[in-house]
């Protein structure tokens, strides 16, 4: 009898140990996500299940309960083993979930998009095509950009042409956009009416104070400022299915602290209609 009890206790401890190891790996090393929409077609299809590598940037450590309860919390990162590159596919918490004029984290709302511009880049969209100053490489889904280039500026076929920053002063569209300098940590910008429009959400979020235009002055709360040094790195991201993707063209820049990791592998794929496994996609590398 005692021998059976010992065996049961041993199996229980092994099972508990395996669960603890799995949780630690999920927090520090990798996690998985289910693709719900077509915004990243053709690279990712609805009902793809992807593996997300947290080692590249380093896993995030924060109080999840505080985040769920909308209480203030800080995000820390473990040391990373690499860095994000242009054209990497990223998984992140959508930064504008609460309302369009502020940044806030919803820990249950994740997006998957392709990195187009890195901190310190200056991005433009010229006739539908992504361009980074000083970079000759193709960026994003070039076939989709070609389709965008053939659209007119008047929102044809249900495609929203107007874009960030949704300002009467800055008339950008998803076809002609920018130039937009993407801030890196420590980047200093002169503050005027244009930079206030482009960066007011980022600065208000970093400082926990409202950035406002008052006559000809840019004010952070009650203090006028003439320049600002950013405290965080930011990224510009895009869906590959550009006619059907809510991305940085519409809502702006992604804070680095909201990035979970890099999507690297499709480990399972299932046809939504039939329920059949799409074996040609299983263990396919995400590029």
Mean pLDDT confidence for 60-76: 82
Is the pLDDT reported for residue 196 higher than 60?
Answer: yes
Strands 177-181 and 110-117: unpaired
Mean pLDDT confidence for 138-161: 88
Confidence of residue 189 (pLDDT cuts 50, 70, 90): very high
Is the pLDDT reported for residue 8 higher than 90?
Answer: no
Average pLDDT for the chain: 88
- Residue 34 has a pLDDT of 93
Confidence of residue 187 (pLDDT cuts 50, 70, 90): very high
Is the pLDDT reported for residue 17 higher than 60?
Answer: no
Q: How far apart are CA 40 and CA 80, in angstroms?
A: 26
| Domain limits, the chain | 2-187+230-270
Indicate the pTM of the whole model.
Answer: 0.90
Q: How far apart are CA 197 and CA 27, in angstroms?
A: 37
Instruction: Give per-residue pLDDT as tens, 83-124.
Output: 999 999 999 999 987 665 778 888 888 999 999 999 999 999
Confidence of residue 82 (pLDDT cuts 50, 70, 90): confident
Calculated CA dihedral for residues 150, 153, 159, 164, nearest 10 degrees: 120
Is the pLDDT reported for residue 23 higher than 90?
Answer: no
What CATH number does domain 2-187+230-270 carry, 2.10.109.10, 2.60.120.10, 2.40.128.90, 3.40.47.10?
2.10.109.10
What sign for the dihedral angle of Cα 170, 176, 179, 185?
positive
Residue 147's nearest CA partner among 132, 137, 157 is: 157
Instruction: Give per-residue pLDDT as tens, 53-62.
Output: 998 888 888 8
Residues in the chain: 287
Instruction: Give per-residue pLDDT as tens, 220-269.
Output: 988 899 999 999 999 999 999 999 999 999 999 999 999 999 999 999 99
What percentage of the chain has pLDDT greater than the value 70?
Answer: 87
Residue 67's nearest CA partner among 32, 98, 24, 89 is: 98
Q: Which of 24-38, 185-199, 253-267, 268-282 has the lowest mean pLDDT?
A: 24-38
Confidence of residue 7 (pLDDT cuts 50, 70, 90): low
DSSP letter string over the chain? -HHHHHHHHHHHHHHHHHHHHHHHHHHHTEEEEE--SSTTTTTS-TTEEEEEE-TTT--EE--HHHHHTT-----EEPPPSS---TT-EEEEE-TB-S-TTS-B--TT-EEEEEEEE-TT-EEEEETTEEEETTB-S--S-HHHHHHHHTS-SS-GGG---B-TT--SSS--BSSSEEEEE---TT-EEE-SHHHHHHHHHHHHHHHTS-EEEETTEEEETTEE-SEEE-SS-EEEEE-SSGGG--SHHHH-PEEGGGEEEEEEEEEEEB-TTT--B-TTTTTEEP-
Mean pLDDT confidence for 4-31: 58
């Amino acid at each position: 009898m005692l021998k059976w009890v010992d065996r049961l206790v041993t199996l229980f401890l092994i099972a508990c140990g395996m669960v603890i190891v799995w949780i630690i790996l999920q927090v520090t090393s990798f996690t998985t996500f289910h693709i719900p929409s077509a915004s990243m077609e053709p690279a990712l299809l609805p009902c793809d299940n992807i593996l997300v590598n947290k080692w590249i940037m380093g896993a995030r450590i924060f109080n999840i309960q505080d985040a769920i309860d909308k209480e203030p919390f800080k995000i820390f990162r473990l040391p990373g083993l690499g860095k994000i590159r242009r054209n990497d596919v990223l998984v992140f918490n959508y930064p504008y979930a609460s309302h369009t004029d502020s940044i806030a984290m919803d820990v249950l709302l994740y997006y998957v998009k392709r990195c187009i511009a890195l901190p310190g880049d200056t991005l433009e969209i010229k006739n539908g095509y992504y361009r980074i100053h000083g970079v000759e490489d193709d960026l994003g889904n070039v076939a989709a950009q070609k389709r965008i280039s053939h659209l007119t500026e008047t929102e044809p076929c249900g495609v929203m042409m107007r874009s960030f920053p949704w300002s009467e002063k800055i008339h950008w569209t998803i076809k002609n956009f920018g130039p937009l300098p993407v801030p890196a940590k420590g980047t200093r910008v002169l503050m005027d009416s244009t930079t206030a429009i482009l960066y007011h959400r980022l600065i208000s979020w970093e400082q926990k104070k409202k950035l406002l235009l008052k006559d000809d002055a840019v004010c952070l709360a009650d203090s006028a400022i003439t320049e600002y040094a950013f405290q965080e790195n930011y990224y510009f991201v895009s869906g590959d299915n550009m006619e059907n993707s809510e991305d940085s063209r519409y809502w702006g820049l992604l804070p680095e602290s909201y990035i979970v990791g890099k999507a690297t592998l499709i480990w399972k794929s299932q046809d939504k209609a039939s329920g059949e496994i799409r074996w040609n996609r299983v263990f396919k590398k995400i590029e």
